[in-house]
Amino acid sequence: MAENTDDHQQVLQMTAKMQQYHLESVEITKEFDHLLTTTDQFKVSLDKDFEFKLQDKSFKIHQTVSRSSNSKKKNAPKIWYVETVCPGSPHLVHESFSANFRKKWDANFSSAPRIEIDNAFPNIYIQHTSAKGGGLISPRDFLDLVSERKIENKETGYQSIQTTSKSISHLEVPKQKGFVRANVVIGGLRFETLSNKEIEEMELPKLMVAVNEESNVDEDSKENTKECQWTRIQYLLQWDLGGWLPKKLINSVMADSNSALINELRNFVIEKRLGLC
């Protein structure tokens, strides 16, 4: 009861606008958590093994992309879901998806400045993301309310990092000339440490990385290494790209584009963050 009272007092101390953002972030987080419990009912679009050879160890990483039309709103865009694994800690993989690193591996990414809402709540902010166009696709931008949190898996005891988002409007960021404003109904990423049992079941190897993961392994200082963690990546996205492109055409490329995005993230972590190849 004390915890609920503390939460109530915290909300009362917020500004009216902050209260609105806080409540919206709570709702979108609940929706994301719920959707993750239903992904086994999604229809599989891609189901693939990617082969790797790192530190003289050959292995496969499984990746699935699935979709669902089960949305609260009629005629809403499909919900897309990607699940796979990646070497590295949840913190490292999550950080590699952030704007500072993403521009190094995502060719379509342009920028994503933050608008801080309240210094007392740094885990809730607005992000204005710009994406490059190409071919028939005009440049897009997204204005999203983003919420980050750490959660603990009660079964394994491991912590995971989760980011959820939804599009909002904001007077300080009107629509830009030359960009189509896309709409994210719900978006989210969860990065969770794999248990030893899961690593064995997936037949993933023991890889050695620098004690400080952000430093590549030095061949002359193997004593300063540790066994690499493995992270489960769960990526969920429901969006309307806007513009004139037919939904049928967009849906036809979503499975490949979502899969490619997570592949690029994993390759960047392997090559540039962990120095495994």
- Could you read off the pLDDT of 184-204 as tens digits, one per residue? 999 999 999 999 999 999 999
Q: Which CATH superfamily is domain 2-273 in?
A: START domain (3.30.530.20)
Distances (CA, A) of 212 to 2, 88, 89: 39, 11, 11
The DSSP secondary-structure symbol of 270 reads I
Tell me the domain boundaries of the chain: 2-273
What is the pTM (predicted TM-score) of this model?
0.88
Candidates 226, 46, 30, 242; CA nearest to 147 is 30
- Sign of the alpha-carbon dihedral angle for 192, 267, 48, 254: positive
The DSSP secondary-structure symbol of 273 reads I
Per-residue pLDDT of 55-102, as tens digits, reads 999 999 999 999 998 766 667 889 999 999 999 999 999 999 999 999
- Sign of the alpha-carbon dihedral angle for 275, 268, 162, 189: negative
